[in-house]
Amino acid sequence: MASWRAWVLAVRVPTLTAAVAPVLVGTAVAARQGQFRPWGALGALVVSLCIQVGTNLHNDVLDFLRGADTTSRRGPARATQSGLLTPKQAAAGAYVWFGVAGAVGLAFAARYGWPVVAAGLLAIAAGLGYTGGPWPIGYHGFGELFVFLFFGLLAVAGTTYVQAGSVSVLAIAAAVPVGLLATAIIVVNNLRDLETDRAAGKRTLAVRIGERRTRGLYLGCLVGAGIVPVVMRCVGLVEGWFWLPWLTVPLGVALIRAVWRVSTAAEYNRSLRRTAALHLLFAMLLAASLV
Q: How far is CA 280 from CA 112, 181, 284, in A?
A: 28, 9, 6
What span, in angstroms and rounded, lies between the C-alpha atoms of 105 and 2? Answer: 29
The Cα–Cα gap between 124 and 213 comes to 30
d(CA 81, CA 99): 24
On whether the pTM is more than 0.85, the answer is yes
How far apart CA 79 and CA 60 sit, in angstroms, is: 7
The torsion angles phi and psi of 81, rounded to 5 degrees, stand at: -60, -35
Is 64:78 a contact under the CB 8 Å cutoff?
yes
Domain span holding position 278: 4-290
**Which among 73, 21, 12, 71 has a CA at the least distance from the CA of 44?**
21
**Measuring CA to CA, which residue among 289, 291, 282 is closest to residue 22?**
282
CATH code of residue 121: 1.10.600
| Three-state DSSP string of 237-272 | CCCHHHHHHHHHHHHHHHHHHHHHHCCCHHHHHHHH
Q: What is the pLDDT of residues 244-272, one digit of tens each?
A: 999 999 999 999 999 998 888 889 999 99
From first to last of the 291 residues of the chain, give the pLDDT tens digit: 458 888 888 888 888 999 999 999 999 999 999 999 999 999 999 999 999 999 999 998 988 888 777 766 667 778 888 888 899 999 999 999 999 999 998 888 888 878 888 888 899 898 888 888 888 898 989 999 999 999 999 999 999 999 999 999 999 999 999 999 999 999 999 999 998 889 888 899 999 999 999 999 999 999 999 999 999 999 999 988 999 999 999 999 999 999 998 888 889 999 999 999 999 999 999 999 998
Q: How many folded domains does the chain comprise?
A: 1
Pair 268, 75: CB distance under 8 Å: yes
